[in-house]
Amino acid sequence: MTVKTILVQVRMPEKLVRTIDALQEEGIYTSRTEVILDSVRRLVMAFQTNDPIKQSVARSLHGKAGSGSFRDIAQEYNPDDIVLALSEAYKTDSIDAIIDEVRR
């Protein structure tokens, strides 16, 4: 089965492109395209999840309030439940590891 692809051209800051190239040079990815596709895929997955905590983290990192922001979550959930949900969703209780995963 052939997957249809569409060319999308994007202008990016030079520093970001150098970082993408470094990921490729380290062998983590095979091309710039692979880096960008993986990044977009992860972002889309974060917004498509039914997990309100993951959606809230993604929105907050991108400065988007809207439905499901941290403010909304704080009014609806007990803080201990939020910590537990984050630990379960990201398989760690390290905030640094969670932030790293969300930014990938």
**Residue 35 scores a pLDDT above 90:** yes
Mean per-residue pLDDT, 29-37: 93
**Helices 95-103 and 52-61: angle between axes, nearest 10 degrees:** 70
For residue 39, is pLDDT > 70? yes
Question: For the chain, which residues make up each domain, given as ranges?
Answer: 12-48, 50-104
50-97 pLDDT, tens digit per residue, is: 777 677 776 776 666 656 555 666 666 677 877 888 888 888 888 788
Helix (H) or strand (E) holding 53: helix 52-61
**d(Cα 67, Cα 34) in Å, to the nearest integer?**
31
**Burial call 76-91: b when 16+ CB within 10 Å, e when fewer:** ebeeeebeebbeebbe
